Structure 1
Amino acid sequence: MTEKLPRLSVATRIRNNFLAGIIICAPIAITLWLTWSVVRWADSWVKPYLPARYDPDNYLNFAMPGSGLLIGLIIITLIGFLGKNLIGQQIVMFSESLVRRVPLVRVIYKSVKQIFETVLKERSNSFKKVGLIEYPSPGLWAMVFIATDAKGEIASKFNAMGHDMVSVFLPPTPVPTAGFLIFVPREKIVLLDMSPEDAAKLLISGGLVTPEELASQIAAPEAVRKPLPAPVEM
């Protein structure tokens, strides 16, 4: 004899349907809201500085959202194109020499430029790998983003002690935009196959969203326990 499943009450069905609607509508609404916010933010920064003859709103009977964002992208692309030729490089170098003469501004400019060059440089592997480290104590594991090998004075100090250290970024949950910079021995890092995007989803959801294609690897820990490769000697 098969047992009959209990029938759900009308209130339970309404609640389940409401929750299903939230799951469907919330991601769409949040995505649209964030997109619209970015477009309005870009328009508010670009449009006020556009000459009237170049503002498309002056030729239309309605405001055209996104025109400021599009024009901003075009201007940034043109600046990047001009900055690659000889004359553009000379202008950039002259501008940077002026900035470096201002005591406080030169420190901020140098730090911000170094961050953007490291993050946006095509040859950089920073934050493109995800790993696990034992944190905050042995037996407890935390997910980290691999930044780069230890360099400069920090690398020389660790090398003198016989340690090959790697800098990693330990983000918190559920907002992975802030965190801790930690230097970890290379052999102590368990490298994962998941992409940084999948790792961010896992962190933001508090471990509730796990990439389906990695489920088999997570079920078999030996599949993910591979050491971080040593740096290539040039």
Structure 2
Amino acid sequence: MDDDLIEWAHADALHALDDSDRRELDARLAAADAAARAEFDTAVRLARETMAVASSLVAVTPPSSLRHNLLEQVPGDEIAARRNPRRGWRIAIASVAAAAALLAGGVVVGRQITETVPPPSISAQIMDAPDMQSSSAAIPGGGTATAMYSKQANAAMLVMNGVAPPQPDSVYQMWLMGGAQPVSAGTMSPEQVSPTTTAVLEGIDGATKLGFTIEPPGGSATPTGTMFAAIPLT
């Protein structure tokens, strides 16, 4: 599924579509193949389920700068490219908002991904940090990986959209790069990668990039595979 449909899925999950949006989305889905429609339905369902779980577990006041920071994350060229600029803002902002909400129910990465719900304070610290930035990278084979990070909060939030799972008997391993040696930031098995995959990475320290390799199950002490993608953290 292309990145544009991922944005529409997030907006649909947030009930952020008006009648005109709904007609355009229906037309896009009608033109898509069966696999893309199935992935769209899965993305909407996962977003709604995760946000429902998150809302039942935590109830926190959004940081005062959340609205400003979300607006800052909407790329200007994407907005300009849309036929209806006003609608583009609404869809893009809804997509970022959905990603932020999904992080409340994502996986924590502290050198290894676990099933633990991340402490809301980490996400809040990142989104409210004055140095919060966003950076993305295309993933070979399709999809994108986006990191919203803050060196002040010493943490990053990773959102992967439309990225295919690794092959059986292998994992994606993430690496914090910038020091003398890459430092493992966790692994993702095929079962942990979905149409929208989220993770919170703590202790990014002086890292300048977040790299990705394919490794054996359980990961490796040092990268053995080729670094197939990297997100700048500067």
Superposition TM-score tier, normalisation by shorter sequence = under 0.3
User: Higher Cα Rg: structure 1 or 2?
Assistant: 1
TM-score normalized with structure 2 length: 0.24
Of structures 1 and 2, the one scoring higher in RCO (CA 8 A, sep 6+) is 2
Structure showing the higher strand proportion among its residues:
2
TM-score normalized with structure 1 length: 0.24
